[in-house]
Amino acid sequence: MALQVQVYRGTPMAAHPNPNSLPWSTKQPMVCVSGDRASFVGGSSRRLSLKVRSSLDATADTSAVAVVGQVTEVCKDTFWPIVKAAGDKTVVLDMYTQWCGPCKIIAPKFQELSQKYLDVVFLKLDCNQENKPLAKELGIRVVPTFKILKDNKVVKEVTGAKFDDLVAAIETVRNS
């Protein structure tokens, strides 16, 4: 993941009452961060370059744990480790997006299911740009999509906010 940040001197142009009368160039960055390098530009055009570290530099935390009785948010880095840790338990994944109306409607019902089926692991994945590789790997075509896994394999799928179909699919996989 690449991070690029620029910090400019003075008031941002949008916040300045008269941007045309600025006494300095807002196009001249004071700090530029790109990847793991940062450059600082002083008033006399001196440059100082140093290595930047962040918590993202550490290996991704793949030790995330799903808590029984609630829905656990996962990402592309934590999904498979949690599924593998579930062992022979049934895993239900809600694949949603922030802008999806039906996803928002079924979310509280999905939460209730997690409290009802304490022998099932309930996960949710925001199918945003960052998690796109996992969503593609799992073959999502529509949101919401519910993938039901057993022994690290997808065994059932429910597309759309079809609560009764989801409950029936969970019951089928639990009892198999």
Active site residues: 100, 103
How far apart, in Å, are the Cα atoms of 5 and each of 49, 56, 163?
A: 14, 15, 43
d(CA 77, CA 93): 15
Q: What residue has token string 């409950």?
A: 167
**SS3 assignment, position 24:** coil
Cis peptide upstream of residue 133 (ω within 30 degrees of 0): no
Measuring CA to CA, which residue among 119, 108, 136 is closest to residue 174?
Answer: 119
Task: Give the ranges where the chain is alpha helix by DSSP (H).
Answer: 79-85, 101-116, 132-137, 163-174
Q: How buried is residue 92: exposed, middle or buried, by Cβ count under 10 Å (0-12/13-18/19+)? A: buried
